[in-house]
Amino acid sequence: MFRHDISVAEQDIDTMGHVNNSVYLRWVQDAVVHYWQSMAPAEAVAKHLWVALKHEITYRKPTFLNDRVVAEVIAEKVHGARSFFTTVVKRGEEVLAEVRSSWCCLDAVTMRPTRLGQDVVARFLTD
């Protein structure tokens, strides 16, 4: 599991006084990309980009300004150029949102879908 600290900014708050639902998408994007950058070898990071294909978000509790929030990211599986993640957004032990997402790995030069090497996939699924 990878832990990514989240800062709740004033512009994240909507008219109802809590974090707008759309902000969670940015948080998941940041968390998954930082996970990739932290676990993959530098040469793999330089050669690959990620694009989100699908996010399925279950909101559990609202998030407010000044909350201390963390995203916990788990790589579930890799299939071809696609990878599947679960991200849990938490305030302490409280689950604020659960996100299941699928991503496509792209070659950074051609911008075409590409498979990761087995050595990189092994790191993805065991770290």
* pLDDT the model gives residue 125: 76
* pLDDT the model gives residue 126: 62
Please determine, for residue 65, whether its predicted confidence score (pLDDT) is greater than 80. yes
Q: What's the predicted TM-score (pTM) here?
A: 0.92
| Sequence-ordered alpha helix ranges (H) in 3-47 | 21-39, 42-47
Report the percentage of the chain scoring pLDDT > 70: 98
CA distance 16 to 11: 13
What is the set of domains in the chain, with CATH numbers? Answer: 2-126 (3.10.129.10)
Q: What is the H or E stretch that residue 59 is in?
A: strand 48-59
* pLDDT the model gives residue 9: 95
More confident residue, 127 or 95: 95
